[in-house]
């Protein structure tokens, strides 16, 4: 545990110093841990575990957009887990309400049948569709098609700076939509 | 979008850098301050006898009290803008103005009173105080909340309450230069009520706008 968390702190320090690969590696390393925590949280709240991926993605977005609140002198894990806990509680509260609404909805039309579960990890994808065209194109290109910023810029005849801005704004808008929807 | 794809887009955005919360909070307060000063200049202004008042230690004490609220509140609110931060170990900073007031009330009690206690406590400006401090707080409160939105507080209502204390402390500093009631009893009563009002507003708004 200790070793793993020290490694995370080291990776995050490199990431903040501008090492994109270290940042990618860190995010990959923490994702399974966040996923397990999200599943545990859902299970404890009596909710289906297939929504864990939505929560994981929400946590990752928050980690990304709030990483300037991490103090590089402090260990990374407590900071990460504080954000994860916060997002998990938020998500459970929201889903708690929605599942409740679902049950009421279905009770009238389909008596005796269990309410259908919502699709897994679909929330970011669904909110992606509500973004402005340009941000959506850029996100689609970089995330889904794995294009570099440079290639994306060439593809849409944008400057690399404009791609970076659209990417960041897209991620920030996604986060805001997930929080407020 | 699956999670691996999301991670790729986050890594691609790694170069983006945000300023620290302290810098954003400072800027926001500096932008808001002229509005509060405008309210002060339009409706209140410095008290006429400000030069002679400065020789009265109880006049000076008011600024010590209000700034000992505002500055620690800024420090604690910045601390709480980190998600893993706890109030524990930091909350005592917020007791500084209370301690100062207690000392001031004690020293006033030991002097030959110029006025009876109830008159010192009630003063002449209690109603102005209750309106002016919250009114001048509002622009600063908006600024403080804007600044703290840049952070990631785990307890948004608590962070909002601290934004309230920051703005009330600064507004009370302005107000203290207008008000002719210098008794620590007056300050302990009316400034405290006005500050409490602003703090409650800050907590209520903060619980909504400081979620991240």
pLDDT at B104: 95
Whether the predicted pLDDT of A50 surpasses 50: yes
Cross-chain Cβ contact B7/A60 below 8 Å: yes
For residue A35, give Cα distances in angstroms to A8, A56, A125.
17, 6, 18
pLDDT for A123: 84
Is residue A99 within 8 A of residue A47, CB to CB? The reply is: yes
CA-derived radius of gyration, chain A? 18
Q: Please name the helix (run of DSSP H) or strand (run of DSSP E) that holds residue B93, with its range, or none.
A: none
pLDDT at A145 over 70: yes
pLDDT of residue A109 exceeding 80, the answer is no
Chain B touched by A42 (CB under 8 Å): no
Q: A75 to chain B: nearest residue by CA?
A: B84
Residue A76 has pLDDT above 50, yes or no: yes
Q: Do A24 and B2 touch (CB under 8 A)?
A: no
CA distances from B55 to B47, B51, B180 (A): 14, 8, 13
Is A123 part of the contact surface with chain B (CB cutoff 8 Å)?
no
In this predicted complex, what is the ipTM? 0.89
Computed over every residue of chain A, the mean pLDDT equals 85
Distance between CA atoms of B183 and B87, rounded to whole angstroms?
A: 32
pLDDT band at A45 (very low <50, low <70, confident <90, very high): confident
Chain B hits for A141, Cβ within 8 Å: none
Separation in Å, CA B91 to CA B32, B77, B94, B136, B158: 26, 10, 6, 25, 11
How far is Cα B146 from Cα B144, in angstroms, rounded to an integer? 5
Cβ neighbours of residue A4 closer than 8 Å, sequence gap 6 or more: A29
Q: Which residue of A has its CA nearest to B9?
A: A143
Q: What is the pLDDT of residue A73?
A: 93
pTM recorded for the entire structure: 0.90
For B110-144, what is each residue's pLDDT tens digit? 887 778 888 888 888 999 999 999 999 999 999 99
Give the minimum alpha-carbon distance from A91 to chain B in angstroms, rounded to a whole number: 12
pLDDT at res. A107: 35
Who wins on pLDDT, A125 or A64? A64
Q: Determine the Cα–Cα distance for residues A131 and A152; give it in Å rounded to an integer.
A: 17
Question: Does the structure show a pLDDT above 70 at A61?
Answer: yes
Confidence band of B99 (pLDDT split at 50, 70, 90): very high
Cβ-Cβ contacts under 8 Å, B20 against chain A? 68
| Nearest chain A alpha carbon to B15 | A18
Query: Above 90 in pLDDT, residue B184?
Result: yes
Cα–Cα distance for residue pair A88/A80, rounded to 1 Å: 12
Confidence of residue A92 (pLDDT cuts 50, 70, 90): confident
Degrees (nearest 5) of the Cα angle B61, B64, B69?
130
pLDDT recorded at residue B24: 98
Residue pLDDT, tens place only, B143-162: 999 999 999 999 999 999 99
Is residue B117 within 8 A of residue B185, CB to CB? The reply is: yes
């Amino acid at each position: 545990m200790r070793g793993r968390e020290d490694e995370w702190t080291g990776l995050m320090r490199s990431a903040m110093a501008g090492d994109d690969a270290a940042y990618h590696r860190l995010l990959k390393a923490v994702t399974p841990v966040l996923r397990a925590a999200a599943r545990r949280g859902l299970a404890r709240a009596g909710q289906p575990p297939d929504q864990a991926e939505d929560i994981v993605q929400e946590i990752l977005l928050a980690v990304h957009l709030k990483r300037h609140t991490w103090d590089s002198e402090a260990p990374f894990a407590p900071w990460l887990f504080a954000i994860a806990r916060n997002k998990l509680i938020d998500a459970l509260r929201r889903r708690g309400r929605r599942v409740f609404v679902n049950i009421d909805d279905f009770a009238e039309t389909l008596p005796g049948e269990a309410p259908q579960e919502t699709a897994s990890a679909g929330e970011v994808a669904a909110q992606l569709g509500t973004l402005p065209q340009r941000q959506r194109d850029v996100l689609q290109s970089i995330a889904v098609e794995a294009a570099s910023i440079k290639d994306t810029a060439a593809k849409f005849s944008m400057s690399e700076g404009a791609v970076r801005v659209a990417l960041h704004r897209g991620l920030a808008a996604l986060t805001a939509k997930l929080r407020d929807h | 979008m699956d999670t691996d794809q999301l991670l790729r887009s986050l890594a691609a955005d790694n170069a983006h850098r945000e300023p620290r919360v302290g810098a954003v909070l400072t800027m926001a307060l500096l932008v808001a301050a002229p509005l509060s000063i405008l309210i002060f200049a339009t409706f209140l202004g410095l008290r006429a006898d400000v030069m002679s008042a400065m020789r009265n230690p109880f006049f000076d004490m008011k600024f010590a009290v209000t700034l000992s609220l505002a500055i620690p509140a800024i420090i604690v609110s910045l601390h709480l803008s980190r998600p893993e931060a706890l109030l524990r170990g930091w909350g005592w900073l917020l007791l500084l103005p209370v301690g100062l007031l207690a000392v001031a009330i004690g020293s006033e009690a030991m002097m030959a009173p110029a006025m009876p206690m109830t008159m010192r406590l009630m003063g002449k400006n209690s109603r102005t105080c209750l309106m002016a401090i919250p009114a001048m707080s509002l622009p600063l409160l908006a600024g403080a909340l804007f600044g703290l939105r840049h952070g990631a507080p785990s307890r948004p209502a608590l962070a909002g309450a601290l934004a309230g204390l920051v703005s009330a402390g600064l507004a009370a500093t302005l107000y203290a230069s207008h008000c002719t009631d210098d008794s620590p009893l007056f300050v302990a009563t009316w400034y405290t009520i006005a500050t409490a009002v602003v703090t409650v507003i800050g907590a209520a708004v903060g619980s909504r706008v400081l979620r991240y």
